[in-house]
A and B are shown apart, each in its own frame.
Chain A
Amino acid sequence: MARSTDNLIAELVDGLGPVRPLRLAHGVAFVLGALVFTIAAVALVAGIRPDVESALAEPVFLLATGLFLILGLAASATVVMMGRPQVGNNHSGWVWAAAMVGLLPAAAAAVLIGDNAAATNSTSTQGFGCLLAASGSGLLSFAVLTWWLRRGAPTSPESAGLIIGIAAGSFGIFAYSFHCTAIDIVHIGLWHSTAVLVSAIIGRLAVPRLIRW
């Protein structure tokens, strides 16, 4: 760099205008807005499962969707905070929520080991469709969180990409669960969890280059 630091400072001061600080509340509002919009879109395009419409949802549905919602919220909150750099920040809170969601595929595996028939009941065709639809349902959250971090200053782009993927995948499957009629733990543990995993991988691979600064 040939120019002196004093010249640089003079140039930067010349370019100064009033700046509105990035507010966490705005980030959270954008994310929740994206989630509400996604649920509405799923309801309008695909429809809501009958037991939810009649307020008689299955316990498995309530537990699983609740876990995905918590993971989505925890991961999203982490991403929103990552936009504001600070030495000493801890961005590991979402890991506990992820561990809780990890119980779903673990439970599915346990059922599959003990009951092979369960595997055949949970068809891969339905599961793969669910996986694709859930991943698609997470796109808006994915875009909003990526946009937020482009405005911010994330100092760990790789971690941020991974967590964006987890948040988007969790919100995607949470929203799509309102349509998906499957209630068996094998389907939920296998395919719904895989949707989060796929989204996390995409986030880890695609997002860092978009948010570097």
Chain B
Amino acid sequence: MKADEASLSRLMVMAQAGNRQAYTTLLSECGHWLRSYYTRRVPPAVLEDLVQETLLALHQKLATWDSSRAFLPWLAAIARYRWVDQLRRIYRRQEDELPETLTSPDEEGAVSARISLESLFSRLPAQQAKAIELVKIEGLSVKEASGLTGQSESLIKVNVHRGIRKMATMIEKA
């Protein structure tokens, strides 16, 4: 079945009424849609985790959709929220090295994720984009990034902090 708006809306109405067969199909189709949505946005290593987190969120927030509204914009809003949440978690992580992110062997997915990051970087001040790129993507330590860019270590930290916050805001408003 093609996951079009009308079919998904019908399945959702049935799922809200407690129809388990419809719900199985709906979640499966949403899983496909979410994989496609996240492929260009996140590194392959975290893609499936994010799909599962979003399906869980969808399950917990089933009541927030009603049949008078389109289904896919609702699903996309939940997907985006989970994505922003994931970005925040990356920001909060204390380690400087890159944990399995863009160093995944799945090069195609990594390139797609990188394309998405590039579009966000292009809207950040150059110093912030550089700091995030070196520390969070290249995996350099704050000290190494400081040496390469000429920014002080504290400025590197501030730029990473501010840049990731701005990226999260851009995604929320996208």
When the two chains form their complex, are residues B172 and A155 in contact, meaning their CB atoms are under 8 A apart? yes
Residue among A9, A19, A85, A155 making CB contact with B24, cutoff 8 Å: A9
Residue among A8, A19, A88 making CB contact with B52, cutoff 8 Å: A8
Q: For the complex formed, measure the closest distance between the CB of B100 and the CB atoms of chain A, giving whole angstroms.
A: 14
When the two chains form their complex, are residues B64 and A12 in contact, meaning their CB atoms are under 8 A apart? no
When the two chains form their complex, are residues A84 and B31 in contact, meaning their CB atoms are under 8 A apart? no
Residue among A5, A13, A152 making CB contact with B31, cutoff 8 Å: A5
When the two chains form their complex, are residues B52 and A85 in contact, meaning their CB atoms are under 8 A apart? no
B105 in contact (CB, < 8 A): no
B84-100: contact bitstring with A at CB < 8 Å (1 yes, 0 no)?
Answer: 10000000000000000
Q: For the complex formed, measure the closest distance between the CB of B110 and the CB atoms of chain A, giving whole angstroms.
A: 20
When the two chains form their complex, are residues A86 and B69 in contact, meaning their CB atoms are under 8 A apart? yes
Which A residues between 1 and 42 are near B, CB-CB below 8 angstroms? 1, 3, 5, 8-10, 12-13, 15-23
When the two chains form their complex, are residues A84 and B65 in contact, meaning their CB atoms are under 8 A apart? yes
A19 vs B12: C-alpha distance when bound (angstroms): 11
When the two chains form their complex, are residues A23 and B49 in contact, meaning their CB atoms are under 8 A apart? no
- Chain B residue total in the interface (Cβ 8 A): 38
When the two chains form their complex, are residues B63 and A86 in contact, meaning their CB atoms are under 8 A apart? no
Q: Please indicate the chain A residues that have their CB under 8 angstroms from the CB of B64 in the complex.
A: 21-22, 83-85, 152-153
A5 vs B48: C-alpha distance when bound (angstroms): 8
A151 in contact (CB, < 8 A): yes
Known contacts being A16-B15, A87-B73, is A9 close to B28, with CB within 8 Å? Answer: yes
A21 vs B31: C-alpha distance when bound (angstroms): 22
When the two chains form their complex, are residues A22 and B56 in contact, meaning their CB atoms are under 8 A apart? no
When the two chains form their complex, are residues A16 and B172 in contact, meaning their CB atoms are under 8 A apart? no
A19 vs B74: C-alpha distance when bound (angstroms): 16
Q: Please indicate the chain B residues that have their CB under 8 angstroms from the CB of A153 in the complex.
A: 57, 61, 64, 77-78, 81
When the two chains form their complex, are residues B81 and A5 in contact, meaning their CB atoms are under 8 A apart? no
A124 in contact (CB, < 8 A): no
Q: Please indicate the chain A residues that have their CB under 8 angstroms from the CB of B65 in the complex.
A: 21, 84
Which B residues between 49 and 68 are near A, CB-CB below 8 angstroms? 49, 51-53, 55-57, 59-67
A19 vs B17: C-alpha distance when bound (angstroms): 6
6 further A-B contacts with Cβ under 8 Å, apart from A9-B24, A16-B23, A19-B62, are: A12-B27, A13-B20, A19-B63, A86-B74, A87-B74, A156-B172
Q: Give 8 CB contacts A-B under 8 Å.
A: A5-B51, A9-B55, A10-B24, A13-B23, A21-B66, A22-B63, A153-B64, A213-B61
- Which B residues are within 8 Å of any A CB, using their own CB? 15-18, 20, 23-24, 27-28, 31, 48-49, 51-53, 55-57, 59-67, 69-70, 73-74, 76-78, 80-81, 84, 172
